[in-house]
Amino acid sequence: MAERRPARFTGVRTYTDPFGRFYFRYPTDWTEYELEGREGVMYAPEADDKLTGFSAWVAPMEHPAVAEDLEDLREGVDEGLAQFAECSIEDQSEVVLGNLIKFERTFTFQDDNVTRKRKTALIYVDRWLIVLTFQGSTVEAYEYWLAMANYSFDTFNIPEALWFSVDRELAGRVGS
């Protein structure tokens, strides 16, 4: 069996959310898919494997998230992960910048008798939950495409207006 060539970029493009809430860069040769029932997009490196890909979507929240919500939000993240069959968390981090709250989790889980691997960032920005996900249909697919997906994670950004909305001093909100 011939060894698979390493994943490589042939070019990059920038995806900008239609409402201007975020943007990120992605490989030009990845296939774009709409996310059914979500405001967002998914890019897959191979058109015949829609279970491997990078996605970004936004959901409005009823109330703005503030730093003091960290514990409650963490509890919700943990409850969500507990819904995955045989979920095993490999890496986790949390960041609070003003009132911006970000959770990152990397984990494996069972789906249709296959072990899949996923990296997710849940970002609470004012009245928005922005979710970034890279998933591999298998652990091997995850590892193979990870460097390219990390580029999309690393180039993800929100516009200045949203940064100002989570600045505790400028927004005038210290607590709920």
Query: Which percentage of the chain shows pLDDT scores above 70?
Result: 92
pLDDT digits (tens, 9 = 90+) for 51-84: 999 999 999 999 999 999 999 999 999 999 999 9
Encoded tokens for 93: 């981090």
Per-residue pLDDT at 172? 54
**pTM listed for this prediction:** 0.90
pLDDT digits over 25-45, tens only?
999 999 999 999 999 999 999
Contacts of the segment 87-95: beta carbons below 8 A, 24+ positions apart: 94/70
- Specify which residues 43 forms β-bridges with: 32, 54
Confidence check: pLDDT of 9 > 60? yes
Contacts of 25 (CB under 8 A, 6+ apart): 12, 13, 14, 15, 151, 152, 155
